[in-house]
Structure 1
Amino acid sequence: MRIFKLVVNNIEEIIASVLFCTVITLLFIQVIARYVFGTGIAWSEELLRFAFLTMVYFAAALGAKQGAHFRVTLLVNILPGKFKKVLEIIQYVISFAFNGFVIYLGFKVIYEMKDFPQISPILSWDMRYVYAMVPIAFVFVTVRMFIRMLTDFGIIKDKTA
């Protein structure tokens, strides 16, 4: 149970770290292949692209977990307490609306791709699975932002937010 809790609390970091190691390894292999053997490895370029993009989105979820997501703090920091809380709520509402929009459109695109399937040229992967990483990562971002919001407002005392 302890390992399960550890994985759940750090899932974004685990995914981003594994993908980062994958990206570095594939880059190393690609450099060696090009400069030592004189040719690139096509499958590694495609996998590298997919891994890098997925890593970026899960790193955004990690940033949301750590409270490092993008928001304007200058105005919030100079306002008195009551106005500060109102502006923070507005910031969270806008962020949740944006995340919801991306999640909705992402899953809509994936659903509509069933009629017009796309296959990746080298790995022959169904691109719906690759595209699914965007809305899935934004679900993670939204959940972590919600936990961070509850923590920021003192509703919960969560050390992992």
Structure 2
Amino acid sequence: MKKFIGELEDNFCSAILLIMTLLTCINVFARYIFHSSMPFVEELTSLGLVIISLTGAAVAAKRGAHLGLTVLTDLLSKEKQKWFTLLGHLLGAVFGGVMLFYGVLMAYQEYTLKQTTAGMQWPEWLFGMFIPISGGVLLIRYVQLFIQVYKRKENKE
């Protein structure tokens, strides 16, 4: 179960990318063979790009794959480097919390105003709800990383 949950974001991103690729290929085929495109595909692929970007940030955090500039921190002692790593994870968690909070407000506003998408006329909050979900996942991942680094620090002393 732990492995399934640990790879949930990876599998979700893979599924979204596969769906985006299939929809785009079908749309290109329809455009060149039938001389008519499907306008809803652009909306769905745009949504997929947002989901992959935000969920991919959580995947990158889990793997420690976010870019970093270590010119200054390499000059510090190992103890101080760990404190800066903790600060980075704390700021990442704050960012995830901000996305979660304001994403909920945005999705709620879209729901109450009954906003719809331009092409498909679907409720906009169905798309907007992925921002707080991704923010929550990012928050959880950074809290996990913070705890891991903090415990590693305590074990060495």
**What TM-score do you get using the length of structure 1 for normalisation?**
0.84
Aligned with 1:117: secondary structure? Answer: coil
2:98 paired with 1:98: no
Change (3 A) 1:73 1:145: farther
Aligned with 2:119: secondary structure? Answer: coil
The residue that corresponds to 2:110 in the other structure is: 113
Change (3 A) 1:48 1:136: same
Letter aligned with residue 29 of structure 1: I
Aligned with 1:113: secondary structure? Answer: helix
- Over aligned residue pairs, what C-alpha RMSD do you find? 2.0
Letter aligned with residue 44 of structure 1: V
Matched length: 153
Letter aligned with residue 150 of structure 1: I
The residue that corresponds to 1:126 in the other structure is: 123
Residue number among 2, 19, 23 corresponding to 2:20 in the alignment = 23
**Does structure 2 conserve the Cα–Cα contact (< 8 Å) formed by 1:19 and 1:55?**
yes
Q: Which runs of 5+ in 1 are unaligned?
A: 156-161
The residue that corresponds to 2:140 in the other structure is: 143
2:92 paired with 1:61: no
Deviation at 1:71, TM superposition (A): 4.1
Deviation at 1:74, TM superposition (A): 2.9
More helix by share: 2
Give percent identity, aligned residues only. 22
The residue that corresponds to 1:158 in the other structure is: none
1:63-94: per-residue Cα shift (whole Å, max 9, x none)?
11111134443322321022212222222222
Letter aligned with residue 66 of structure 2: H
Change (3 A) 1:154 1:74: farther
Q: Which runs of 5+ in 2 are unaligned?
A: 153-157
2:28 paired with 1:42: no
**Does structure 1 conserve the Cα–Cα contact (< 8 Å) formed by 2:86 and 2:149?**
no
The residue that corresponds to 2:77 in the other structure is: 80
Deviation at 1:121, TM superposition (A): 2.9
- Stretch of structure 1 that moved more, 11-20 or 141-150: 141-150
Change (3 A) 1:135 1:74: farther
**Does structure 1 conserve the Cα–Cα contact (< 8 Å) formed by 2:90 and 2:143?**
no
- Stretch of structure 1 that moved more, 12-21 or 32-41: 32-41
**What TM-score do you get using the length of structure 2 for normalisation?**
0.86
Query: How many angstroms apart in 2 are the aligned matches of 1:13 and 1:29?
Result: 24
**Does structure 1 conserve the Cα–Cα contact (< 8 Å) formed by 2:117 and 2:123?**
yes
